[in-house]
Amino acid sequence: MSALSPIQNRDITYHLHPYTNAVKHEQIGPRVIERGQGIYVYDDQGREYIEGMSGLWSVAVGFNEPRLVQAAAAQMGKLPFYHTFSHKTHTPSVELAEKLVQLTEGRMHSAFFTNSGSEANDTVIKMVWYYNNALGRSQKKKIIARNKGYHGVTVASASLTGLAPNHRGFDLPLPQMKHVSCPHWYRQGQPGETEEAFATRMAAELEALILEEGPETVAAFIGEPVMGAGGVIVPPATYWDKIQAVCRKYDVLVVADEVITGFGRLGTMFGSQKFGIEPDIMVLSKQITSSYLPLAAVLLGDKVHSVIARYSGELGTFGHGYTASGHPVATAVALENIRIIEENGLIENAARMGEVLQSSLRALGDHPLVGEVRGTGLIAAVELVADKPTRRPFDPLGKMGAAIFERAHEHGLIVRGIQDSIAFCPPLIINEEQVRDMVGRFVDTLEEVRSQAA
């Protein structure tokens, strides 16, 4: 291994990284990314990479969009910060709240701003509790999420997340948060079970849990339209219809976590449109600013908004918020980002390039290591298996995915290994030639790792 550079050594000394093995980090050091250009990023050695994950599922417009830089600079020069507490506001946040509500075509009523998806989902939990307290339902506080779902890392939102690494060592999840099965037919389906029957079984499981806990205690169900960090899990076609029917039967709020699927990722403005979800609450982040600045939004339907607003009048305030809620620079950048998405037809491009991505990856279906290819729009995953007929995973689980992730860098590609599923989520600006180049680099990586493992 080559000697580490001064910046790498300083990073090891002073910087504790998220989602990182700190001991391993001290041994290998970081990869230092210095700049970005379109769908590419470049490290401090000048090496180019296709950023096949849009950073963290989030850079819709690419890594050097000058309009976003200009929007930030203009707002910094005019009003670099002001809060939205105690009847104060500013134009960018008003305009963004209005725009987001309009984008839902009347489904949502109002927007509340936070700085991250984790804070947004933490806020959702408090809003759901506040809402039920306002209605005199002091016991209706439990929230049901799903195994392999991802909803953040704050104490409460990490409790919704259904991934073991987010719980181990943290004394999580909190007892009010319950989980049902991940709707992954390839792994969770029973022998001979159709996807339709599987969806019915998933809805029955949710109903059984609600009845077991007591409908008077279950407040909400939260889910990503397509699960991201859990492995890019696309549910069966009728799954969301059946889940929503159960929720409505027992007066359980439906929360759509659109942190990854919002703003065009699936070829529609929101994932809820793709799957016919009619949420009471929506959560947005990541592509809202293409992650140029931290921002998230909680959108409330009229039913929830009206109750929360009334209760704040009774109590004297809605006692929740963040210093940077609706930060004017972040909301100005979000407005410009959404304009770019709309003006440049990036949602339509995601639909077209999504077809290229999905078909190119599905062409690998006969590869001896490929168990399942799944995805929709510009998000996909290839699950690698040790044995195709039996779908037997590799042992240890995750070793193959880690090898692909690491070696892909040598082919100029950044992907994500989720155990042994390799995830793709490129910027919405990607073109057909770049999609095929990205898949080609993945195939080269796959063949290299396969030959070394043989």
| pLDDT tens digits, one per residue of 10-40 | 999 999 999 999 999 999 999 999 999 999 9
Q: Grade residue 452 by pLDDT with cuts at 50, 70 and 90.
A: confident
Sheet holding 177-180, edge to edge: 110-114, 296-300, 281-284, 253-257, 218-223, 142-146, 177-180
Number of H helices, E strands in the chain: 16, 15
| pLDDT tens digits, one per residue of 107-119 | 999 999 999 999 9
Confidence check: pLDDT of 335 > 50 = yes
The domain ranges of the chain are 31-61+345-453, 68-343
Q: Grade residue 439 by pLDDT with cuts at 50, 70 and 90.
A: very high
CATH class of the domain whose range is 68-343: alpha beta
Give yes or no for a contact between 415 and 442, defined as CB atoms under 8 angstroms apart. Answer: yes
Give yes or no for a contact between 387 and 368, defined as CB atoms under 8 angstroms apart. Answer: no
CATH class of the domain whose range is 31-61+345-453: alpha beta
Judged by DSSP in three states, 375 sits in strand
| pLDDT tens digits, one per residue of 179-218 | 999 999 999 999 999 999 999 999 999 999 999 999 999 9
| pLDDT tens digits, one per residue of 137-148 | 999 999 999 999
Radius of gyration of the chain from Cα atoms?
A: 22
Strands 48-51 and 40-43: antiparallel
Confidence check: pLDDT of 454 > 70 = no
Q: In terms of pTM, does the model score above 0.85?
A: yes
Q: Kindly state the tokens that stand for 131.
A: 């809402």
Cα separation of 157 and 150, whole Å? 9
* Mean confidence (pLDDT) of the chain: 97
Cα separation of 240 and 275, whole Å? 7
Cα separation of 115 and 59, whole Å? 16
